[in-house]
Amino acid sequence: MRQAFAGNGLKQTSFAKSAIAVILALAMSMVAAGQAAAAPKRSSSKYAAIVIDASTGKTLFSANSESRRFPASLTKMMTLYLTFEALSRGKITKETRVPFSAHASAQPPTKIGVKAGNSITVETAIYALVTKSANDAATALGELLAGSEEQFARMMTAKARSLGMSGTVFRNANGLPNSGQFTTARDMATLGLALREHYPQYYGYFSTRSFTYGRQRMPNHNRLLGRVKGMDGIKTGYTNASGFNLVSSVIDGNRRIVAVVMGGASAASRDNHMVELIKKYLPKASTRGKQAPLVASATSSPIGAIAKVLLPKHDAPTPDVRPDADVVVATDDTAAPARTPEAAPAPVLQAYADPSPAATIPAPRPEAPVVAAAQQIDPVSTSSVASSGWVVQIASSPSRGEAEAFLEKVGKEASGILARASGFTQPFQKGGVTYHRARFGGFESKVAAWDACAALKKKKISCYAVQN
């Protein structure tokens, strides 16, 4: 009896161990399944990702980063880049009216719903792009800057080439589906770096948490703002063909990265993967701080006479940076007429026109070839808005922000003299360093420019007149 009882006890013990083993195996499989469900499907044909050290340019992580993908609303990053460029050169101001054509107004959601014939300000359009990702506002901006969306797409592609984005072709201003519009994760990281490096005075728009237009309150589609420490943008995107995309910029002390995730199966999985990449690779970024620009300036100009005046930092106003707060825009924008002289002259900016057939982009097709070298010319003129070509230069500085701050300062001090002039900056290279000329254009003749400079000198403002 004792032997039988002992045998039964051994069987029971063995059974219990087996049961525990089965339960543990099931638990582990459930955990693994949960992790697999949370992780992005990296075998997906849509998936691509990259993490770049924004101080050194070193690639910290890469997965399919050179493979062709659809950008979706990441396209609006280039629309904003060209808008910031036009602002910095004085081609437009934040108060310039953006008219909505029938074509722009008819763009499908997401949109802010401005009716054809009405207009909004440039700044309102910027907010609409960075928060609502408004397709109608993006198209309207493109038409303002280039005369037509098709022409603007050529500008976008040419600008991409000049920034080193060799795997990108744009077909529209908003990222709505087009089989001939494509990019790569690496190119989107390059564009993210360029936006911060080239236009730091406008980059703060990307951290806007929400935007109220009329009765619409539009939260930023980037759900990681406020969730991830140091996150300051940049842009989300989604279409059926692209999956869920996100470009992020994160700064923690001296460490800074730009990360891209494309082709997520959902917004949540995309965001979770982005958080995973940030947690893993931000600590690996350099702490030495930024040594030199990582993305070459997209414009070039002949090396001419250099202004001897350098802007003293202690005398410069703070650059225009937007807080990451809620923004409320006046509701009368929707009713503003698009073509009254006071509200919206809506000029086509001829300086941005495509100067030659060399900038023509091939007809759309799913696997369009990379644009040839002859098509890589930047069609954006760096000249003044003046018809005479004569400008007044007041300073040059290695800092674009300082040059623009000096323009603002002098513009206020000499508002009577420069009432009809437009301030703009113009980059140039000297000794391997990029400087930025601070100039006023809009003079009708050489004599007008000379007279304006003479009047400025009477106010103790150094300057000289030169043909741009």
Give the number of other Cβ atoms within 10 Å of residue 355's Cβ.
Answer: 11
Q: Which residues are catalytic?
A: 73, 76, 133
pLDDT of 226 reads: 81
Tokens of 361: 């982009």
State the DSSP string of 393-433.
Answer: EEEEES-HHHHHHHHHHHHHHTTTTTTT-EEEEEEEEETTE
**pLDDT mean over 273-300:** 82
Find out whether the peptide bond into 110 is cis, omega within 30 degrees of 0. Answer: yes
Res. 329: pLDDT tops 60: no
Burial label for 358, CB within 10 Å (0-12, 13-18, 19+), is middle
More confident residue, 440 or 95: 95
Return d(Cα 130, Cα 236) in angstroms, integer.
Answer: 9
The least confident of 169-173, 399-403, 460-464 is 399-403
- Predicted pLDDT at 188: 97
Segment of 242-251, 395-404, 412-421 carrying the highest mean pLDDT: 242-251
Residue 181 CA: distances (Å) to CA of 19, 75, 154, 362, 416? 57, 9, 11, 11, 47
Once rounded to an integer, what is the mean pLDDT over residues 381-388?
A: 34
Percent helix, percent strand, percent coil in the chain, to nearest 5 = 40, 20, 40
Residue with tokens 């050194």: 56
**pLDDT 10s digits, 407-447:** 888 988 888 898 778 888 888 877 677 888 888 887 878 88
pLDDT at residue 24 in the model: 53
List the single range of 18-22, 265-269, 438-442 with lowest mean pLDDT: 18-22
Note the pLDDT tens digit of each residue in 340-358: 333 333 333 333 333 322 3
What is the reported pLDDT for 291? 62
pLDDT band at 400 (very low <50, low <70, confident <90, very high): confident
Assigned architecture for domain 48-298+322-375:
3-Layer(aba) Sandwich (3.40)
Poorest-pLDDT segment among 190-199, 320-329, 374-383: 374-383
Residue 212 structure tokens? 């109220």
User: Is a pLDDT exceeding 90 seen at residue 247?
Assistant: yes
Model confidence pLDDT, tens digit, residues 170-185: 999 999 999 999 999 9
The sign one gets for the Cα dihedral 209, 221, 175, 336 is negative
Helix, coil or strand: residue 250: strand
pLDDT at 137 over 90: yes
Which residue carries 């980063």 as its tokens? 65
| pLDDT band of 15, cuts 50, 70, 90 | low
Instruction: State yes or no: pLDDT of 93 exceeds 60.
Output: yes
- Annotation-wise, does 235 bind a ligand? yes
The mean pLDDT value for 237-260 works out to 93
Region 314-329: mean pLDDT is 43
- Compute the distance between CA of residue 79 and CA of residue 175 in angstroms, rounded to an integer: 10
Using the predicted structure, report yes or no on whether residue 378 has a pLDDT greater than 80. Answer: no
pLDDT, position 419: 78
Domain positions in the chain are 48-298+322-375
In percent, the amount of the chain with pLDDT more than 90 equals 46
Q: Are strands 97-99 and 59-63 parallel, antiparallel or unpaired?
A: unpaired
Q: Which residues pair with 261 in a beta bridge?
A: 49, 246
Is the torsion defined by CA of 280, 282, 285, 286 positive or negative? negative
Among 47-51, 82-86, 99-103, 329-333, the minimum mean pLDDT is found in: 329-333
CA 178/CA 379 separation, integer angstroms: 23
pLDDT at 292 over 90: no
Indicate the pLDDT class of residue 401, thresholds 50, 70 and 90. confident
Label residue 432 exposed, middle or buried (CB < 10 Å: 0-12, 13-18, 19+). exposed
